[in-house]
Structure 1
């Protein structure tokens, strides 16, 4: 099962846990469609999270092209000069892409519910997927 299949069928999933160490972030998700607990581990430089123990965890997963969301100058993602757009990017977690190189980071991986988790992805091949026993 590929990450894209997991994302495509992720409606009514539940983020159970989010943890990070020095260079990896791990999401543990109860995937409703596949009826499995899935652990996804990403290498990261920056990420945004408004997830907390008070969140209900109900979510869906998505991916977005960073360049469709953020401005680029000299090959680096930068904040919008429009204050409203800038504040939108901060609220949505897109600001986690500021300062990253466009040539290296192309995609945002997002977990969206009553909270948001946004992870700029450098290389999909370095993302680890594990299926845990329910």
Structure 2
């Protein structure tokens, strides 16, 4: 079911917290598509970031959660943030040489900038999307 949701207006943020389960990645993707209908790559980026969160942080453990924040900026860009509950693994550079690990390479290719802030107690991975094509 696609959420009935009004996309944020310029300068507004939308935020939602999801259970840290794999089945919630689809829900987060749908939420992003509803919030940013003019940014077709938003759902894919959210899928990659939330998959990493559920698979590589404490968020994916029993009772874990992640928070998805979406902000539409007046210049047409959009900011996506996925905040997890931390863990021992760190996010680094995208890796292309193995079967898995291509998600951050994809995020890098589809965004104007991306990064990670925080530490083992909780991290936010953020990605900035360019303005939509006219």
> Higher strand proportion, which one?
1
Asked if TM exceeds 0.5, the reply is no
TM-score w.r.t. the length of structure 1 is 0.31
TM-score by length of 2: 0.31
Higher relative contact order (CA 8 A, sep 6+): 1
- Which has the larger helix fraction? 2
